[in-house]
Amino acid sequence: MTPILEVTRVRKTFGGVVANRDVSLSVPEGKIYGLIGPNGSGKTTLFSSIVGTHPIDSGSIKFRGEEVSRLRVPQIARLGLLRTFQQTRIYGKMTCVQNLLISVPPAALSWRSMLARPSAAETKKAEDLLQFVGLHAKRHLRAGDLSFGQQKLLELAMALMSEPRMLLLDEPTAGINPTLINDLIDRLRRINAELGITLLVIEHNMRVVMGLAQYIYCLAHGELLAEGEPAAVKSDKRVIEAYLGAH
């Protein structure tokens, strides 16, 4: 199976601090992959490098065979590679529905569409997605008035509205009510299975990532420490040491 995302020897430093040291990973199309590692191991930095938030020092990032490491954030997004943020980012003063209506697929954002009104189909899709993440009742509330967990769900719905090929999720369960986490895992699986969206998930909750991901990469100190099936990674001594805080 061809990889949809291929990261090869990516290196990123901030001043003298190496955040990512020659990290390589690849994610095949249609899969759910996990990215784990202790705090400060460079997971979010890697996400930012992939979606073009900052330039990388060296290495290559290919999305669907195309080199994206020199493109800027919106260009990469338009190729169908989106991320969600650890600290949610939503349009706080707009209503939930509006948040979704402006997150239509980039193909629908041509010059002509600047003056268009949201079509009935788009509105229906927005409402369906809000229903899907359980925010339908709050769809006319301002997004900024939602709780952190709800904003997280809204952000997920926005990403889905845009019909990406691949989603990078930065800690999707952080801040979500624990009783709703199983629901969310189930939804993420459905997103993957029904919509065919490839997922790469940063997750701290081991139970979640072990249950969700089909394959896991583990970062520590900016380097790739281990990779493999969940069961194998879980029992890898180096991973356990890294998490127990050898350093």
Partner 1 sequence: MKRSILRAAVLAFLIAFPALLPAWRTQMSYLVIMIVFSLTWDLLGGQMGYNSFGNVLFFGIGMYVCAVVQRDAHFSYPATLALGIAAGAAAAVAVAAILGSGILGLRGHYFAIGTLGLGIAAGELAAGWDFVGGGGGMVPPQYPGALGGRETFFYYLAAALAVATFFTLRWLYGGRFGLAVNAIRDDEDKAEAMGLWTTRYKTAAWCVSAFFLGIGGAIVGNVSGFIDPRETAFAGSTYGVWMVLMAILGGKGTLWGPVLGAVIFHITKELFWTYLLDWQQVALGFLIVVIVIFFPVGILGWAREKWPEKFGHRVEEAKPAEASG
Partner 2 sequence: MENLRLLFDAPILTVQLLLDGILIGAIFALAAYGMMLVWGVLNIINVAQGELVMLGGYVAFFLFKAGINPLFGVPVAAALLFVVGWLLYRVVIFRIVDKDLFISILATFGLSILIQQLAKVAFSPDVRTPQAGFGTISMFGGAVTVTWIKIISFAAALTTGGVLVWFLRGTRMGQAIRATAQNARAARVMGIDTDRVYAWTFGVNAAICGASGALVAMTYLVDPYIGLPYTIRSFMIVIVAGLGNISAVLATAIGLGAAENISAFLFGAEYQIAFVYGLLVVILISRRIVLARQRRYLA
- Residue 186 Cβ, how far from partner 2 at the closest point, in Å? 37
Is residue 55 involved in binding partner 2 (CB under 8 A)? yes
Partner residues linked to 13 by β-bridges: 18
**Binding of partner 2 by 19 (CB under 8 A):** no
Residue 55 interacts with which of partner 1, partner 2, none, CB < 5 to 8 Å by class: partner 2
Structure tokens at 209: 């990532």
Which amino acid appears at position 225 of this protein? L
Q: Is 77 among the residues that bind partner 2 (CB under 8 A)?
A: no
Find all residues with CB under 8 Å of 134, minimum gap 6, and list them.
153, 180, 183
- Please state, in angstroms and rounded to a whole number, the distance separating the CA atoms of residues 106 and 114: 12
User: What distance lies between CA 222 and its chain's CA centroid?
Assistant: 19
Q: Give the residue, chosen from 9, 57, 67, 70, that forms a contact with partner 2 under the rule CB under 8 A.
A: 70
- Nearer to partner 1 by Cβ, of 4 and 82: the residue is 82
Interaction of residue 89 with partner 2, rule CB under 8 A: no
Task: Decide: 180 and 187 in contact? Cβ < 8 Å.
Answer: no
In angstroms, the CA 218 to CA 64 distance is 23
Q: Give the interface size with partner 2 as a residue count (CB under 8 A).
A: 6
Cβ partners under 8 Å of residue 244, min gap 6: none
From partner 2, partner 1, none, interface partner of 216 (C-beta below 5 to 8 A by class): none
Q: Which does 131 bind (CB under 5 to 8 A by kind): partner 2, partner 1, none?
A: partner 1
Of residues 35 through 54, those in contact with partner 2 by CB under 8 A are 52, 54
**Which one of partner 2, partner 1, none interacts with residue 54, CB within 5 to 8 A by kind?**
partner 2
Taking the C-alpha atoms of residue 194 and residue 211, their distance in angstroms, rounded to an integer, is 18
Nearer to partner 2, 54 or 190 (CB): 54
Q: Which of 152, 216, 230, 217 is nearest to 187 (CA)?
A: 152
- Closest contact distance (angstroms) between CB of 35 and partner 2 is 22
DSSP category for residue 30: T
DSSP string, 179-223: HHHHHHHHHHHHHHHHH--EEEEE-S-HHHHHHH-SEEEEEETTE
- Token readout for 56 is 């990388």
Q: Is residue 93 a contact point for partner 2 (CB under 8 A)?
A: no
Per partner kind, with CB cut-offs from 5 to 8 A, the member of partner 1, partner 2, none near residue 232 is none
| Residues at the contact surface with partner 1, assessed by CB under 8 A | 51, 72-74, 77-78, 82-83, 85, 89-95, 98, 101-104, 106, 109, 111, 113-118, 124, 127-128, 131, 136-142, 144-145, 158, 162
Residue 226 engages partner 2 in binding (rule: CB under 8 A): no
Can you tell me the distance from the alpha carbon of 18 to that of 200, in angstroms, rounded to the nearest whole number? Answer: 22
Residues lying near partner 2 in the complex (CB under 8 A) are found at 52, 54-55, 70-72
